[in-house]
Amino acid sequence: MQVFAHRGASGYAPENTLAAIKKAVQLGSTAIEIDVHNVEGQLYVFHDRRLDGKSTGTGLIEEVSQAYLATVRVGAEPIPTLWELLAYLQHFDCIVNIELKGMNSLTPFLSLYPNILSKLNFSADKLLISSFNHHFVASVKQQFPQALVAPLIEGIPVDNAALVSQLQAYSLHLSLSFITSDIVIDAHQRGAKVYVYTVDDAADIAYLAKLGVDGIFSNYPDISQQVIEQLSR
């Protein structure tokens, strides 16, 4: 089972910051998930749509300026750009799952993606592009057929995993709260992997292993990895 460090190793360092990414690498993570927003044409790594609460800033992240964002801190950490994190991660053998959040425009990502492949040490099979916005998933796949894409869902569609065929998705990203055996089987029959968010509990990991899921998103990737290794003994 693949373990994605969720928002970096967010159980140990401020989520979606370079510190959380470095911690994940230090813990031996081979897959990392991060969330991105568009701010004045530049992609920034942050989870919430509002800066309030998790940072020193205030307001909708996609409506502030880059100059303002540079003054904002998450814990003691700055909000990194996607490019900064990828420039760091290119030196490690790591899959990066870029989750496209409620972006006001997909254009900055569509412009950046080919640059990531040509200017950084990433091949298309090391980048997994996901979103709850399935229009974004479809657009990325349409523009870049080699891209690995994944729809995120919170719930179970009436036609189970049919959307992975429609979107030519590499994987289906499911909520732990709604997962069923039927959708896992259907996704696998359609050739897609199943990754489940957000999973930190040993009993949940054991349950998901029985369902045959391919991976999880965990805030404590090292502990979850240990649980998985114990299950396979």
The entry of Mg ion, ligand G3P, none near residue 130 (CB within 5 to 8 angstroms by kind) is ligand G3P
Q: Is 232 helix (H, G, I), strand (E, B) or coil?
A: coil
Q: Is 99 in the site for ligand G3P (CB under 6 A)?
A: yes
Q: Is 152 in the site for ligand G3P (CB under 6 A)?
A: yes
State the DSSP code for 79. P
The entry of Mg ion, ligand G3P, none near residue 152 (CB within 5 to 8 angstroms by kind) is ligand G3P
Q: Is 200 in the site for ligand G3P (CB under 6 A)?
A: no
Q: Is 99 in the site for Mg ion (CB under 5 A)?
A: yes
- At residue 92's C-alpha, the angle toward residues 35 and 121, to 5°, is 80
Nearer to Mg ion, 112 or 128 (CB): 128
Helix (H) or strand (E) holding 35: strand 31-39
Alpha helices in the chain (DSSP H): 18-26, 66-69, 82-89, 107-119, 134-143, 162-166, 181-189, 202-211, 221-231
Count interface residues toward ligand G3P (CB under 6 A).
Answer: 11
Sign of the CA dihedral with 47 first, then 37, 123, and 150 last = positive
Residues 35-74 that bind ligand G3P (CB under 6 A): 35, 47
Binding footprint of ligand G3P on the chain (CB under 6 A):
6, 33, 35, 47, 99, 130, 152, 173, 197-198, 217
